[in-house]
Amino acid sequence: LDNAASVPADLGWGGFDGIDWDLEGNDKISSEWNHFTVDCIDLVGTMSQAAKAAGYVVSLVPPQSYWDVTSSTFDLSLL
């Protein structure tokens, strides 16, 4: 992640040094993209750990549509 090469100077800021995960589903309820695979979750975790270990910022904010703070269950659905 090289901000000097990837962020145009006319934006007036240096960019974001890291990953800002924005994991969303699909408007079509029957879409296969409304469910994470375990491999996808594992990839997000592995990439996030590697980026943080290399000194980058990592943020992940789940969409309010499926974030249930009252539940400790593991759910791969984005619905």
- Higher-pLDDT residue of 2 and 14 is 14
What's the rounded mean pLDDT across residues 59-77? 73
Give bridge partners of residue 20 from the DSSP assignment.
Answer: 59
Q: Which residue has the tokens 């375990």?
A: 38
Question: What tens digit of pLDDT does each residue of 3-53 get?
Answer: 555 666 676 766 667 888 877 777 888 888 888 888 988 998 999 999 889
What's the rounded mean pLDDT across residues 50-65? 80
